[in-house]
Structure 1
Amino acid sequence: MRKVKKLRLDNENTGSWRSFSLNSEGAERMATGTPTSDRGDAVEMEDPACRFQVQKHSWDGLRDIIHGSRKNSGLIVNKAPHDFQFVQKRDESGPHSHRLYYLGMPYGSRENSLLYSEIPKKVRKEALLLLSWKQMLDHFQATPHHGVYSREEELLRERKRLGVFGITSYDFHSDSGLFLFQASNSLFHCRDGGKNGFMVSPMKPLEIKTQCSGPRMDPKICRADPAFFSFINNSDLWVANLETGEERRLTFCHRGLSNVLDDPKSAGVATFVIQEEFDRFTGYWWCPTASWEGPEGHKTLRILYEEVDESEVEIIHVPSPALEERKTDSYRYPRTGSKNPKIALKLAEFQTDGQGKIVSTQEKELVQPFGTLFPKVEYIARAGWTHDGKYAWAMFLDRPQQRLQLVLLPPALFIPTTQDEEQRAAFARAVPRDVQPYVVYEEVTDVWINVHDIFYPFPQSEGEDELCFLRANECKTGFCHLYKVTAILKPCSYDWTQPFSPGEDEFKCPIKEEVALTSGEWEVLARHGSKIWVNEETKLVYFQGTKDTPLEHHLYVVSYESAGEIVRLTTPGFSHSCSMSQNFDMFVSHYSSVGTPPCVHVYKLSGPDDDPLHKQPRFWASMMEAASCPPDYVPPEIFHFHTRADVRLYGMIYKPHAVQPGKKHPTVLFVYGGPQVQLVNNSFKGIKYLRLNTLASLGYAVVVIDGRGSCQRGLRFEGALKNQMGQVEIEDQVEGLRFVAEKYGFIDLSRVAIHGWSYGGFLSLMGLIHKPQVFKVAIAGAPVTVWMAYDTGYTERYMDVPENNQVGYEAGSVALHVEKLPNEPNRLLILHGFLDENVHFFHTNFLVSQLIRAGKPYQLQVGSSANECLKSSQEQAVFRLIPCERKWRRELITSHGMTKVVGKGALELPQEAWQLGTHDHLKAGTLHRTSLPCLTQPVLRLSRDSKNEAQKRKWVANGKWQWIMGSYKRTSVCRQKVSGSQRWQVKRCLFLLS
């Protein structure tokens, strides 16, 4: 408390007071004005820090707090080992049973490296054995000098959300002991195990020299012959021999032109949407077996690959943050409702002689065009080969993402690529009539299909006309479960030389049997790279799931021969991520809880014959024990509640660190709220969400709630967002907020901020729009503000195509509802990375232009060189405020004489500069959007020719004119190009300033 003396000033009315405070010595210090009398009563007054339960810090003070928390988190962040590979040792007399390889960050290092640990055959039950981490590579610099990656590597890091440096992935061939990995903008390999035995000291990896220009991406070892490996260079597929150094280009799609407009094709490369929205980061797959053909007995090796033609996909130009450079990055980006790339599956084959020399190469395509065989396929979600190499397989998805087909493609269905029609017809005649694709499984839903990797085909016996496989399916019951399926491969007779028009269920195989191995209102984990491990000898399948609770991931085992008891193998009270050894006798678990930092332990499964399900796995050794938490870290508390609709929701709360009875604390609601993400679970939050603990240490309460739309609760729970994103999530968040306010007495509902990134940034804006009385402040990071401007794969999965759901698109686009935002200043802060190639800066740009037009206050902070997740620690801690509005507006007006100011924050383009019917209006005169990033898309004023109708403001997205014609003759929402319009005349063309 402070003492404040109230003074009445000579020229003020009774009841008017100014104040001053008493310093520690009792001397008076005026707050405002100069007193004419020292008469007055001394009263006690609360400090703002006491009143509001948070202390005001200077800018430097806040920066020091953030840097301090990041420094403490460095003790545990990114240190845990991952990407495990078990290799069993065959030396019966040796002390070790396995060598375990992995990626990790050694003590004192700042980059990932290849490491290994030796697992002993015997351990003492009463002692904790801590395995040592041993370096595989000797004094190896894996990160490029100065941290400069190629453009391709940088984009892949963004897609995979990689925050570590060094070696981030590797390919391993267990029989030969070969390791292959990218590092320092090159490729390297080394060997350990195999016929040469295991090393005892670190080795120098060998750099693989090349004649190629540019980075070699996505390297893979040939499973059938590890002397060969493949990679992508300049959007084409290459193969090379490690022993001879020979390199050979297998595909010739890309022409190496600098202009992306003139070079739209690629081979073996996953497109942006496939990487970003379907988690597939490769576009080619080695056949696991080789064949010997021809009189010379040459070995034939095959690669299945995806060929992509993006010639009809829109090109996005992202300007450089250094405006004076006038540079742009250009790449293909399919906005929702627009055309996706054209796709096809092809084969690349090459033959080698006895010395490993490549003697011939050949490209092959399907006997009928891909679009003819599969006319409704929009995405190749996954692909690969059966274990015996008899079939290539692919998961095909339609555009609404409500129908998935699992298709087998025999190699004989592919014929050599040729432009000669007669020759092509001859190749087609050579294809046997009973060779065809087989649709062995199909999933259909009215919600959407969540793509995953779980498909395990069992080997076929010779002449067998059935295929048995394990598959995870979410569509049958609304929860993802495992099924054992037997499909009958019943061939028909096709003349592939004739024109072909497939029927609705063409190539569909009858299902002989489908047995559910798991069931219930819980999920087998299938998305985000989750795996299953199948032991064909014991008929067991190991999987990860949420059977015990949706808040914890565990490893389970069940028999696929006689489905019955499901046994949990991991310790309850934690959330686990596991990897199994190849001979199924051990597994390693990376686990944690909200109160326990990550641990990594090895467990042994082999037990007595009367315990086939390993009901009591034995702890064997520790690879990493839980680190000490930072001294100011207080774990969150998990809670649950039931909504008015009787839906059980989970949340967690970070309590303010200095809670005083009866005192109310300002509250931050941290949101994501979108599909495919679960924020609330029983895993350690002190790494990824350390900033939430920092807020709690400053006196804020922080609340996190997983409402309807989040994952791990079933398809119907997640599918509550179908066609109405942004319209249901906020209600769940507000109900949860009121629940915790009632349960915990320190929540101040009159001072609540809502904050999130990406989808959470979108919901932050929605919260301030629809619940301004609940949320006093919104901090929106990289928000999607116009769903029409987001990509096809994500938006159409949840919102359908725009023409089928215009009401949902308009209701969910925050930039179209800015008039509902509050008029008070300091209630809206927008954060965005200028070079974000996922949620483009256009979204914030367009939102700001609408805010200016509506006269709404806002604050904007931009990361100058950051993408959606700001890269540098400086940009993560401190955003740079851009004081651009008045400055940019003045510069534009003076440097472009052809324009003039129209109203607040807009420039008018004169009529003589218009070129209707084309997109040239975007570049008319000297107004180039690439050089003026503060310009949004054009906004048109349109009016009826005949009568003086009220003018409507219109906006453009996706290169197609959008307008609403209101209630005139009850005309509903309509879209068409201006060039095709006879009823409307363009009166004015405006560019809005952001």
Structure 2
Amino acid sequence: MDYPELAARTRRFSHGAPRSVTVASDGSRVVFLRSGGPEDPADALWLFDVATATERLVADPAILLESDPRDPLATVALPPAERALRERQRLQAGGIGGYATDPAARVAVFALAGRLFRADLVQGDVVEVAVTGPVIDPRPDPTGERLAYVTEGPASTDRTGLPGRTQSPNGGNGGSCGGQLRVIEADGTDNLLAGEEAGVSWGLAEFIAAEEFARYRGYWWAPDGRSILAARVDESRLPRWYLHDPGDPASLPRGIAYPQAGGPNAEVSLHLLDLDGGWVDVHWDRETYPYLVSVHWADTGPLITVLRRLQQHGLVLAVDPRTGETQVHAELADPRWVEPVAGTPRHLPDGRVLVGGELAHDGYDARCLFADGTLLTPPSLYIRRVVGPLPAGPGATDLLVEASDGEPSQQHLFRVRTAIGGGVESRRLTADPGWHTGVVGGDVLVVGSASLDHAGTRWTVWRGERELGTLSTLAAAPPYSPRPVLERVTDRRLPTAVLYPRSHVAGRRLPVLLDIYGGPGFQQVLASRARWLERQWWADSGFAVVTVDNRGTPGVAPSFEKVIHRRLADVILLDQVDALTALAEKHPDLDLGRVAIRGWSFGGWLAGLAVLCRPDLFRCAVAGAPVSDWALYDTAYAERYLGLPDDSPEVYAHHCLLELAAEPPVTPDDARPMLLVHGMVDDNVVAAHTLRLSAALLAAGRPHSVIPLTGATHMAADGAAERLLRLERDFLHLHLRAL
């Protein structure tokens, strides 16, 4: 069986692999999701008992639903908000998509086909819990006694929802509403906590928070389980866009509230809701700081991060849970944009507030951690995420962080000292080359390790220096072991990779496929075998595959990332061209007379940009879901890098593929062919981007083809991807063979 079929049947060899790992706060249990085999798309809930180093199945979706829920996308019976959340998370798993536990991992709750289930992780019992409506994002309180969840639908006829409440905290007037936040008491009583206002949702992350700031939740339990900090989202000011799949003409268009660049954002506020009916509004200048980026609530009280619209200034605020008043703990500022560190802010055990930021003076160019302004991490580390606390002896606590140390293609785990007066001290915990992630609970550390030397991610359970066991994988083994050549090139030390056909004989010149993303926030050149499986298929199809992480991508240094501000097109395309030229000098088998480029989303925009601006080098392009007009994309992303459209129309025009495509080619030979691919119900980069680009190309007489993916979102389904790969290959071969 060829790679495209295998990849489709195994969801790129992820079926049967552990994911979504949680460790109990006392280190007694490790909870995770895994399907039943290499072609089983429905994830089940599993538990690894640390004391016995054994696994047991906790919840099987097929048994709980008394059917076979083997739809790989698990979207048929999902509430619309749940489908949207999975789209934001790029989650294609079926069965149990996600779960939540109390800190001690004694209880786990999850939604399945809109129904709510509660698993006793100590005794092993799983029960369905009666609810008012389809369930989204259920979470137990820290005591494990109560459950909260969000549901969509008409407002309850009970205006109060709780004894003694005379109105909802939003002052709603009943009628249809967005998300309702509800709480189920230990006796099974299902109470409305908030959500009776038309067009307003409670407890859900808005589009911008989930898509651009990786905040996927909209409510947080208090540590004592007696109140909830909840986000209220009002999208009434946003324009309504309508998605319709023309492949199903009988279906009705689906309306979405889309925050278009330069236009209004959703109004997001925070409220402290007591279970006995009281509430307190959280106060900050929401007009100046409209973006709620992160929320963390531990015993010392809630901490939130808010940003200005252009994201050049932000505040870390401590919230008084009694009054809702806020106090500034730290300011975040950058003349380009602020890039918060995942896992921050948070309180350290000694009361200091941990924040991530940049060290950009005295010759430093680093991404570091600070505690009340004191540097905690050495400038050599590029901090990516704070995982959590690690015990460090009696009364002492260190931090577990994920970071890179000089090599952006690798990520390692480090123990960082937090003691006052202890100086800057860190110790690397992972030795093998690769990409390592961590989950910690008590004195137990679970390490997920990906590498070029083995397939998939291996999850190992540790207590101190002692290995206790591994989480078993049932995933299929890929058909080959790619060996990309990773190297840094040019004076900018751009991370690159070259991948040859497995049958390649030195001296045989090959056409080049530049397979890229290139956008901020994502790297492609990683020391992880999974990144190169599909690219090896492309190489075996007759290409030398090249991937370049240009400036603007993370992992190197803040200045490397932020030099693209207001000039993405110039910097990124220059880096791609210079890297290709430098690689050709080291790899003489790269034929720069036959170069194709391929990318999706931001990479689709970059592919279109390349053939329109540099037809002398790039002979053809495959542009998947390209952002053809940044003024048609969302507020937070477009404005972060390009500013407001009304303030800098020339910047948007310079980055607009429609403007470039409208210019007739200088010579007929400069009209390089493009293959445009787009999902018709994509709610992120809407299909209008490709349709408008096709119209501009047609008007200018530029050759191109369009493949509309009916029923597809921004994530092309695996079945479609399997057939799409071959169509793309045939397109590239057609236009490169004659050269």
CA displacement at 1:785 relative to structure 2: 0.6
CA contact (8 A) 1:403 1:445 kept: yes
Give the secondary-structure state (helix, strand or coil) at the position aligned to 1:694: helix
Match of 1:546 in 2: 404
Pick one of 509, 517, 522 that aligns with 2:381. 522
In structure 2, give the amino acid aligned to 1:252: G
Q: How does 1:505-520 map to 2 (within 5 A)?
A: 514-520=373-379
CA contact (8 A) 1:727 1:812 kept: no
CA contact (8 A) 2:242 2:254 kept: yes
In structure 2, give the amino acid aligned to 1:572: D
Give the secondary-structure state (helix, strand or coil) at the position aligned to 1:525: strand
CA displacement at 1:88 relative to structure 2: 8.0
Give the secondary-structure state (helix, strand or coil) at the position aligned to 2:63: coil
Tell which deviates more after alignment, 78-87 or 712-721: 78-87
Distance 2:409 2:515 in 1: 18
CA contact (8 A) 1:603 1:621 kept: yes
Distance 1:521 1:101 in 2: 34
CA displacement at 1:572 relative to structure 2: 2.9
Match of 1:900 in 2: none
CA displacement at 1:400 relative to structure 2: 0.9
Distance 1:384 1:533 in 2: 14
Per-residue deviation, residues 419-447 of structure 1 (Å, max 9, x unmatched): xxxxxxxxxxxxxxxxx421111111111
CA contact (8 A) 2:512 2:595 kept: yes
Point out the structure with max Rg over C-alpha: 1
CA displacement at 1:399 relative to structure 2: 0.6
Q: Pick closer, same or farther for the CA change 1:826–1:623 going to 2, 3 Å.
A: same
Distance 2:35 2:248 in 1: 38
CA displacement at 1:69 relative to structure 2: 4.4
Match of 1:567 in 2: 427
CA contact (8 A) 1:672 1:759 kept: yes
Q: How does 1:168-179 map to 2 (within 5 A)?
A: 168-175=97-104, 177-179=106-108
Q: How does 1:856-867 map to 2 (within 5 A)?
A: 856-867=702-713
Q: How does 1:295-694 map to 2 (within 5 A)?
A: 301-322=226-247, 324-325=249-250, 327-351=252-276, 361-366=277-282, 373-388=285-300, 391-414=301-324, 436-451=325-340, 452-458=342-348, 467-474=351-358, 478-485=365-372, 514-526=373-385, 531-535=387-391, 537-547=395-405, 549-561=407-419, 562-580=422-440, 582-584=441-443, 586-602=444-460, 604-606=462-464, 617-624=465-472, 629-642=477-490, 646-685=491-530, 689-694=532-537
Match of 2:142 in 1: 223
Match of 2:561 in 1: 718
Distance 1:826 1:105 in 2: 44
Match of 1:489 in 2: none
Per-residue deviation, residues 479-513 of structure 1 (Å, max 9, x unmatched): 3211121xxxxxxxxxxxxxxxxxxxxxxxxxxxx
Match of 1:165 in 2: 94
In structure 1, give the amino acid aligned to 2:442: N
Distance 1:828 1:71 in 2: 25
In structure 2, give the amino acid aligned to 1:807: E
Is structure 2 residue 84 aligned with structure 1 residue 155? Answer: yes
CA displacement at 1:533 relative to structure 2: 2.3
In structure 1, give the amino acid aligned to 2:280: K
CA displacement at 1:877 relative to structure 2: 2.2
CA contact (8 A) 1:268 1:282 kept: yes
CA contact (8 A) 1:599 1:626 kept: no
* Identical aligned residues as a percent: 24
Consecutive unaligned residues of structure 1, counting only runs of 5 or more, are: 1-63, 90-96, 122-130, 256-262, 291-300, 352-360, 415-435, 461-466, 486-513, 607-616, 882-994
Per-residue deviation, residues 350-382 of structure 1 (Å, max 9, x unmatched): 22xxxxxxxxx234335xxx57x4441111111
Q: Pick closer, same or farther for the CA change 1:459–1:75 going to 2, 3 Å.
A: closer
The two structures have a TM-score, normalised by structure 2, of: 0.87
Per-residue deviation, residues 291-332 of structure 1 (Å, max 9, x unmatched): xxxxxxxxxx22111222222211111223236326211111
In structure 1, give the amino acid aligned to 2:37: Y
Q: Pick closer, same or farther for the CA change 1:469–1:535 going to 2, 3 Å.
A: farther
Match of 1:963 in 2: none
Distance 1:176 1:751 in 2: 56
Q: Pick closer, same or farther for the CA change 1:605–1:742 going to 2, 3 Å.
A: same
CA displacement at 1:158 relative to structure 2: 0.8
In structure 2, give the amino acid aligned to 1:364: V
CA displacement at 1:82 relative to structure 2: 2.5
CA displacement at 1:475 relative to structure 2: 6.2
CA contact (8 A) 2:24 2:104 kept: no
Q: Pick closer, same or farther for the CA change 1:252–1:81 going to 2, 3 Å.
A: closer
Is structure 2 residue 277 aligned with structure 1 residue 277? Answer: no
CA contact (8 A) 2:8 2:719 kept: no
CA contact (8 A) 1:145 1:184 kept: no
Distance 1:448 1:553 in 2: 24
Per-residue deviation, residues 689-716 of structure 1 (Å, max 9, x unmatched): 5321111112211000111111111221
CA contact (8 A) 1:238 1:247 kept: no
Per-residue deviation, residues 72-91 of structure 1 (Å, max 9, x unmatched): 866942433123333488xx
Give the number of equivalent residue pairs: 684
CA displacement at 1:553 relative to structure 2: 0.9
CA displacement at 1:253 relative to structure 2: 4.0
CA displacement at 1:470 relative to structure 2: 1.9
Q: Pick closer, same or farther for the CA change 1:362–1:395 going to 2, 3 Å.
A: same
Q: Pick closer, same or farther for the CA change 1:230–1:69 going to 2, 3 Å.
A: closer
Distance 1:74 1:538 in 2: 43
Match of 2:168 in 1: none
CA displacement at 1:98 relative to structure 2: 3.6
Q: How does 1:51-90 map to 2 (within 5 A)?
A: 65-70=2-7, 76-87=13-24
Match of 1:251 in 2: 194
Is structure 2 residue 546 aligned with structure 1 residue 703? Answer: yes
In structure 2, give the amino acid aligned to 1:140: I
CA displacement at 1:242 relative to structure 2: 5.0
Give the secondary-structure state (helix, strand or coil) at the position aligned to 2:578: helix
Q: Pick closer, same or farther for the CA change 1:380–1:628 going to 2, 3 Å.
A: closer
CA contact (8 A) 1:115 1:133 kept: yes
CA displacement at 1:570 relative to structure 2: 0.8
CA contact (8 A) 1:601 1:620 kept: no
Higher RCO, 1 vs 2 (CA within 8 Å, ≥6 residues apart): 2
CA contact (8 A) 1:380 1:396 kept: yes
Per-residue deviation, residues 146-196 of structure 1 (Å, max 9, x unmatched): 641332222111110012111121111254711111112211002122xxx
Distance 1:556 1:288 in 2: 28
CA displacement at 1:621 relative to structure 2: 2.6
CA displacement at 1:230 relative to structure 2: 3.6
CA displacement at 1:764 relative to structure 2: 0.3
In structure 2, give the amino acid aligned to 1:841: A
CA contact (8 A) 2:150 2:204 kept: no
Q: How does 1:108-123 map to 2 (within 5 A)?
A: 109-120=40-51
